[in-house]
Amino acid sequence: MPDGVVVLDNELRVLAWNHKAEDLWGLRSDEVRGKHFLNLDIGLPVLDLTQPMRACLADTNQQERVVNALNRRGKALAVRITCSRLFGNGKTGIAGVILTMKELTEATTAGS
């Protein structure tokens, strides 16, 4: 998958972290699994994502934000973050949030 994907439980702890997320933020999956997402120091303004993530936990709609960040190499970039609900099995309801992170190019940003 070309985009970073992070799966969080309903307490916003990291359940899964793909290779693109590792490449963007410089932390391996085993370093972040079980950690609270808002406590990660990764160059992404995670506190700016609190409202969209909470909205996903309380609402059926996707939430999307474009944020400015620094990748693991210190390069400034714009990232489109899409928050989607993660549903549990059966009647367990909402199990968490899936964050998809797409690094935007100048051409992509101009079209947004």
Q: How do the domains of the chain map onto residue ranges? A: 4-110
Superfamily classification of domain 4-110: PAS domain (3.30.450.20)
For the chain, 112 residues long, give each residue's pLDDT as a single digit of tens: 689 999 999 999 999 999 999 999 999 999 999 999 999 999 999 999 999 999 988 876 788 999 999 988 889 999 999 999 988 776 567 789 999 999 997 544 444 4
Distance CA(90)–CA(104), nearest Å, equals 36
- What ranges in the chain are assigned the alpha helix state H? 19-25, 29-32, 50-58, 106-110
Q: What is the reported pLDDT for 77?
A: 92
Task: Return the sign of the alpha-carbon dihedral for residues 67, 74, 24, 105.
Answer: positive
**Res 91: pLDDT:** 58
